[in-house]
């Protein structure tokens, strides 16, 4: 989001907070409109309109296969609201002055009616929901995720869509398809489907479910909230803003804006990237570039989180914290317990813990070190894949997975000796400070693979940093 978009969102959020009434309806309508408004323009004709529409269709489908509610009056009203918003946005194709919520001219309205009809028939045919539909929902989400994250598959989809709408296939690019917010939407949907399979998903109506999945302050950059925590806030009566809430929310918002648009954007001018990685030959300046990127990515991510938390507080929603001074932690395990916390908690709950339990259930279980090695490396590689299925993100995941395993083994081996040695406050401070410095540099070197697109370029940068090349 740009700073102008954020300020517009803040203005209307504050305006509503003074009105006080109808918060649920406001959050639903605002979230639906904003996913269209924030979606970037795409070169494939009409696709920047269809992507937000598909987000809503997939969300409604996920609610349908996880809910015990029927289409009662409230849920039907929600469907009518969403369909009406989509159709009204579609109608703006005939009024050029009204196209402020879509990045380009919407497609023909009759296509929208056809898609509504097909989706309605699908829901009608799936009146009897079985466990197999939950599995299908997971497979569908993972399939879309892979198509969006594997560049070759994204290029294939771009070529196919261009051919379908009659555009040039030769100019197809993987960058043609940018599905804003899908990663975070997918995590929330998978969370609800897996919790339904486990029998712990709370009962929610369609309006609550959609608001949770596409909640506009957290739609593009998180944090990844849990539905049971989110709906507790959503169901609390909203009495409007008081001085304390307004001050706290404003303070969080201002801090986030300063982090993102002052610190992070300034650091981005000198941060490591593919261009300056090959142009800078000085070891000293290359370290400056690496440090700049390490702090730029932190202030960028944590800044957006502060902005999301601040805006949400204005309307009575307390989103979970996502960053807690991660660069001041004395080891890699604590770093990951405090960096993008909702992401690591999600992977711990829906991958690391289930896989660990599965490995322990074997007739001949693996040794504890081997089990820790497999689960930690696999988890971090998957987190790398979440950012993109490329060699560099794979190496970045391996870097942290191996680092976590080595720290785990080293900690067990030296715990008694370290506590025996650090028997004064001075020695404890030395141990902590040295751990912070070492952990920060380990993470900073890992960011090289994250920032660059080629393993060869990344390796050359590492060699230059240590004066080898």
Q: What pLDDT, on a 0 to 100 scale, did the predictor assign at position 17?
A: 84
Q: What pLDDT, on a 0 to 100 scale, did the predictor assign at position 469?
A: 66
Domain ranges of the chain: 21-234, 238-320, 324-465
Q: How far apart are CA 147 and CA 258, in angstroms?
A: 35
Q: How far apart are CA 430 and CA 424, in angstroms?
A: 10
Contact 317, 199 (CB under 8 A): no
Return the sign of the alpha-carbon dihedral for residues 449, 455, 459, 461: negative
Q: What pLDDT, on a 0 to 100 scale, did the predictor assign at position 267?
A: 96
Please work out, in degrees rounded to the nearest 5, the angle formed at the alpha carbon of residue 196 by the alpha carbons of 146 and 115. 55
Q: What pLDDT, on a 0 to 100 scale, did the predictor assign at position 366?
A: 82
Contact 77, 40 (CB under 8 A): no
Q: What pLDDT, on a 0 to 100 scale, did the predictor assign at position 131?
A: 63
Q: How far apart are CA 197 and CA 452, in angstroms?
A: 39
Q: How far apart are CA 223 and CA 212, in angstroms?
A: 12
Contact 212, 83 (CB under 8 A): no
Encoding tokens for residue 302? 């944590």
Read off φ and ψ for residue 320, nearest 5 degrees: -70, 150
Please work out, in degrees rounded to the nearest 5, the angle formed at the alpha carbon of residue 34 by the alpha carbons of 33 and 36. 70
Q: What pLDDT, on a 0 to 100 scale, did the predictor assign at position 104?
A: 86
Terminal C-alpha separation, the chain: 39
Q: What pLDDT, on a 0 to 100 scale, did the predictor assign at position 98?
A: 63
Q: What pLDDT, on a 0 to 100 scale, did the predictor assign at position 430?
A: 84
Q: How far apart are CA 103 and CA 50, in angstroms?
A: 12
Longest dimension (CA), the chain: 76
> 216-229 burial, b if ≥16 CB within 10 A, otherwise e?
bbbbbbbbbbbbee
Q: What pLDDT, on a 0 to 100 scale, did the predictor assign at position 428?
A: 82
Q: How far apart are CA 102 and CA 128, in angstroms?
A: 36
Helices 3-19 and 23-38, interaxial angle, to 10°?
Answer: 170
Residue 223 preceded by cis peptide, ω within 30: yes
Q: What pLDDT, on a 0 to 100 scale, did the predictor assign at position 129?
A: 59
Taking 3-state DSSP, the helix, strand and coil percentages for the chain, each rounded to the nearest 5, stand at: 75, 0, 25
Q: What is the pLDDT along the chain (469 residues), one digit of tens a residue?
A: 889 999 999 999 898 888 777 888 999 999 999 999 999 988 988 889 999 999 999 999 999 988 877 778 899 999 999 999 999 999 988 887 667 888 888 888 888 888 888 888 877 777 665 667 888 888 999 999 999 888 889 999 999 988 888 888 888 888 888 899 898 999 999 999 999 988 899 999 999 999 999 999 999 888 999 999 999 999 988 877 888 889 999 999 999 999 999 999 999 999 999 999 989 888 999 999 999 999 999 999 999 999 999 999 999 999 999 999 999 999 999 999 999 999 999 999 999 999 998 888 887 878 888 988 999 999 999 999 988 889 999 999 999 999 999 998 888 777 767 777 766 778 788 888 999 999 999 999 999 999 999 999 999 999 999 887 6
Q: Tally Cβ neighbours within 10 Å of residue 210.
A: 25
Helices 283-314 and 455-465, interaxial angle, to 10°?
Answer: 120
- 143 CB burial (10 A radius; 0-12, 13-18, 19+): exposed
């Amino acid at each position: 989001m740009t700073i102008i978009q954020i300020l517009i969102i803040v203005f209307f959020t504050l305006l509503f907070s003074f009105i006080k009434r109808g918060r649920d309806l406001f959050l639903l309508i605002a979230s639906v409109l904003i996913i269209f408004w924030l979606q970037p323009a795409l070169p494939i004709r009409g696709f920047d309109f269809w992507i937000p529409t598909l987000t809503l269709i997939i969300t409604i489908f996920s609610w349908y296969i996880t809910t015990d509610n029927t289409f009662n009056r409230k849920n039907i009203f929600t469907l009518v609201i969403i369909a009406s918003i989509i159709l009204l946005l579609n109608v703006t194709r005939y009024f050029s002055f009204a196209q402020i919520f879509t990045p380009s001219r919407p497609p023909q309205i009759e296509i929208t009616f056809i898609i509504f009809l097909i989706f309605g028939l699908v829901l009608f045919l799936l009146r009897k929901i079985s466990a197999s539909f939950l599995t299908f929902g997971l497979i569908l989400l993972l399939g879309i995720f892979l198509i969006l994250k594997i560049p070759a598959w994204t290029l294939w989809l771009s070529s196919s869509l261009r051919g379908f709408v009659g555009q040039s296939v030769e100019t197809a690019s993987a960058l043609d398809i940018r599905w804003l917010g899908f990663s975070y939407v997918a995590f929330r949907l998978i969370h609800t489907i897996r919790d339904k399979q486990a029998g712990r998903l709370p009962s929610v109506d369609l309006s609550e479910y959609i608001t949770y999945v596409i909640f506009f302050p957290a739609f593009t950059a998180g944090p990844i909230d849990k539905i049971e925590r989110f709906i507790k806030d959503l169901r609390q009566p909203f009495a409007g803003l008081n001085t304390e809430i307004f001050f706290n929310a404003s303070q969080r918002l201002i801090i986030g804006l300063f982090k993102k648009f002052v610190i992070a954007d300034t650091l981005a001018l000198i941060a490591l990237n593919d261009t300056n990685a090959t142009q800078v030959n000085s070891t000293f300046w290359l370290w400056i570039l690496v440090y700049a990127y390490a702090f730029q990515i932190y202030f960028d991510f944590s800044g957006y989180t502060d902005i999301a938390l601040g805006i949400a507080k204005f309307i009575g929603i307390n989103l979970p914290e996502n960053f807690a001074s991660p660069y001041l932690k004395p080891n890699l395990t604590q770093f990951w317990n405090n960096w993008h916390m909702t992401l690591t908690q999600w992977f711990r709950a829906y991958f690391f813990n289930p896989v660990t339990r599965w490995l322990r259930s074997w007739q001949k279980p693996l040794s504890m070190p081997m089990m820790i090695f497999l689960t930690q490396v696999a988890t971090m590689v998957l987190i790398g894949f979440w950012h993109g299925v490329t060699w560099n993100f794979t190496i970045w995941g391996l870097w942290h997975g191996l680092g976590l395993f080595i720290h785990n083994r080293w900690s067990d081996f030296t715990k008694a000796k370290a506590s025996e040695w650090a028997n004064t406050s001075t020695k404890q401070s030395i141990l902590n400070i040295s751990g912070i410095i070492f952990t920060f540099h380990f993470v900073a070197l890992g960011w090289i693979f994250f920032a660059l697109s080629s393993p060869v370029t990344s390796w050359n940068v590492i060699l230059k940093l240590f004066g080898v090349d």
